[in-house]
Structure 1
């Protein structure tokens, strides 16, 4: 069983991760992981923090000479901004008053978290609830991506719309996905890209924020990951659970998603065909590659809706948790729009679930053993 834990605060010394159950003898290129971390940091609309951090992964255990050992993989990503925050975020001794936060932001974990954990300082909440922690999830996804490519499983992502401005590349080709990768807002449609950049700039001037929708496309997934036999084994359920845990995500849909509710069954179901050359195949993919909680061999297509970031430079009304008097919400350094970055996080998170399910299906302590079981499965 593959599992992982992540830790760290936004302005603490470092972010950390532990992966257990990963097979031995998997080649890992640290440069590919750092490339994914850089992808997460890019995007028009990001805040000043991205000018400080240049995320790099540092392995502490579980690798030797670029290959996994089968033992727990531990790593850290240093927070370079910590040197500016060490007086307030040192794990053992801090100035608790200077950076104290008592005005919760609407839409953030601030108020509920401070009540749940009995804090009089919201900084204890916002440091961990911050989306900064997603860097660790991108690193984990980067490790699992390199495992999955041995089986021809790959993933990409692109933005569908931001702030109501939509891309025309609604069913993206491979060229569209490559074009989106080069776009500062991860959009394959150059006309929409220009409009979105202008909208982000205007929104920044207004002190506001923007949300949007991104899509993850995973190819090469074989038939039969997940299961129908128990509710918590269904692949779409596990993917939705993982993706919904990304900060700001308010909706997850597969294939045609909510559009299916407006169509007849004959317009939605993907008819099945067979030929000697192709085997079983479909001419449509309205299900998004998952039927009955299992992968059906088609491309897995997932869309995620992200709400606007709750930190606003023209803050909303709130109540001070100390005085219980009306005030304006805390303003922390923040992004204007993080949808392009969230798409990269979503891609990594989805790949992690696929990796978990592949290992659940195949098992094996070493890469050689997993490959042997893969060949047996594919021949069947």
Structure 2
């Protein structure tokens, strides 16, 4: 089974990612991993931390001569900001007078709930691990999953469809989404320039007021054949696994598959995708769909259309004009603590969600097709494609 885990704190020495279960022989393009990390750092509305960090994954194990060798892959991503925190967050006991306490919990963060759970006198240690800085290690892990899927012709990318009240006014085509990922600079990762300008205006408005703004990103899995996931058991359904994967990201408060939200208020005759038999020889099968309202998943199983997952991101909880809170020490009303923060992170969250979706899909692909080496996996995969084309 493909598994991954992360370790590290926001202001610690480094982040760590451990990925196991990848077959041997997968080419590992380190420039691709670096580009994925770069994409996560970009976007209009990011804070000062992104001007400090230059994220790069240092591979310690599991890759030799440019390819995976079947053993666990360990990676570190250094935190450049660590040099400013070495005496504040030392591994050893250190000097208590240099400890930088988070003295009043921030509404919307894990601060208060975490301090209560772990019996901490302040929220520093909660903040350090709950921070979205952790998603950097997820992006590095997801890049490896993407490299595996790419060998099978499957790609995973994202784009932004809403920031605040400004929304993408038309459907996005796959080619447009793919082009976004290759841009030299990322504004708000929207496929339409006019809509992106309106999104930028939403960010500008909250910049002036000391507030923050959320939005919606869309992750698209392109080239995934029918049959990934299953209806057999509740915890093996593709849509359920994708929802959990995306919901696990910091600040994501809702997940939608296809037209999930508007489908709830629509008639069945306008929601379900009519089936035809007119596909081309280049398709997985000759069965075809008029639309993709289901988001490429029916009954927990991929149906051959693009898999479409949307994440609804709340505004960042740390405000330059803090909300009301309570002092941990005195229990008196105070303003919430402030730590350097972003104003809008919707494009970056989309990149992190790509990683989570790629990891979930790659895991199911490996469970279905097996293979200790990439050639074995490809034989099994190609044999299945022949089977469904001949159906």
* TM-score, normalised relative to structure 2: 0.94
Q: CA RMSD in A?
A: 1.4
Measure how far apart 1:226 and its partner are. Answer: 0.8
2:231 aligns with: 228
Q: Is the 8 A contact 1:9 1:15 kept in 2?
A: yes
Inter-partner Cα distance in structure 2 for 1:263 and 1:276: 28
Equivalent position of 2:16 in the other structure: 16
CA distance in 2, matches of 1:188, 1:372: 36
Shift of 1:121: 2.3
Whole-angstrom distance in 1 between the partners of 2:69 and 2:35: 23
Residue equivalent to 1:126:
127
In 2: Cα distance, 1:336 partner to 1:248 partner: 13
Partner of 1:262: 265
Aligned-residue offset at 1:298? 0.6
| Residue in structure 2 matched with residue 84 of structure 1 by the alignment | 84
1:368 alignment counterpart? 375
Quick check: 1:353 aligned with 2:360?
yes
Alpha-carbon distance in 2 for matches of 1:210, 1:82: 28
Point out the more displaced range, 186-195 or 326-335.
186-195
Q: Structure 1 residue 169: deviation in Å?
A: 3.3
Report the alpha carbon displacement of residue 96 of structure 1 after superposing the two structures with TM. Answer: 3.8
Contact 2:157 2:181 in 1 (8 A): no
Aligned pair in 2 of structure 1 residues 72, 290: CA closer, same or farther (>3 Å)? Answer: same
CA contact (8 A) 2:211 2:321 kept: yes
Residues 271 and 283 in structure 1, CA contact (< 8 A), matched pair in contact too: yes
What pairs up with 1:49-88 in 2 under 5 angstroms?
A: 49-88=49-88
Equivalent positions of 1:196-235 (< 5 A) are: 196-235=199-238
Counterpart in 2 of 1:301?
308
Assess if the C-alpha contact under 8 Å between 2:165 and 2:202 holds in 1. no
- Name the SS of the counterpart of 1:86 in structure 2: coil
Matches within 5 A, 1:28-67: 28-67=28-67
User: Residue 176 of structure 2 aligns to a residue in which SS?
Assistant: helix
* Structure 1 stretch displaced more, 318-327 or 193-202: 193-202
| Alpha carbons of structure 1 residues 176 and 2: separation in structure 2 relative to 1, 3 Å | closer
In structure 2, the residue matched to 1:147 is 148
Query: Residue 142 of structure 2 aligns to a residue in which SS?
Result: helix
1:327-346 CA-to-partner distances (Å, cap 9, x unmatched) read 10010000000011101111
3-state SS of 1:342 partner: helix
- The unaligned stretches of length 5 or more in structure 2 are none
Check 1:175–1:102 CA distance in 2 against 1; reply closer, same or farther (3 A cut).
same
What TM-score does the superposition give when structure 1 sets the normalisation length?
0.97
Separation of aligned partners in 2, 1:142 and 1:180: 13
> Unaligned regions of 5+ residues in structure 1, if any?
none
Change (3 A) 1:154 1:88: same
Q: Offset at 1:171?
A: 3.6
C-alpha deviation, 1:22, in angstroms: 1.1
Deviation at 1:276, TM superposition (A): 7.3
Q: 1:93 deviation in Å?
A: 3.1
Give 1:177 shift.
4.8
Matched, 1:320 2:327: yes
Q: CA shift at 1:181, angstroms? A: 5.9
CA distance in 2, matches of 1:356, 1:3: 8
2:194 maps to 191
Structure 1 position 168, deviation (Å): 1.7
Give the CA deviation at 1:161.
0.9
Alpha-carbon distance in 2 for matches of 1:63, 1:226 = 29
Tell me which moved more, 172-181 or 103-112: 172-181
Is contact 1:37-1:55 (8 Å) kept? Answer: yes
- 1:284 has 2:291 as partner: yes
Aligned to 1:105: 106
Query: How much does 1:173 deviate?
Result: 4.5
Aligned-residue offset at 1:261:
1.0
Decide whether the 8 Å contact of 2:102 with 2:122 is kept in 1. Answer: yes
Q: Determine helix, strand or coil for the equivalent of 1:353.
A: helix
Q: How many residues align?
A: 380
Secondary structure of residue in 2 paired with 1:89? coil
**Mapped pair 1:116 → 2:103:** no
Task: Label 1:252 to 1:115 Cα distance change in 2 as closer, same or farther (>3 A).
Answer: same
The 2-side partners of 1:163 and 1:276 are apart by: 39
Determine whether 1:238 maps to 2:245: no
| CA offsets 1:109-153 (integer angstroms, 9 cap, x no match) | 000000001101210100000000000110111111111011110
Is the alpha carbon distance of 1:96 and 1:189 closer, same or farther for their aligned partners in structure 2, counting shifts above 3 Å? farther
Whole-Å separation in 2 of the counterparts to 1:308 and 1:13: 28
Q: In the alignment, is the contact (CA less than 8 A) between 1:180 and 1:187 conserved in 2? A: no
User: Aligned with 2:368: secondary structure?
Assistant: helix
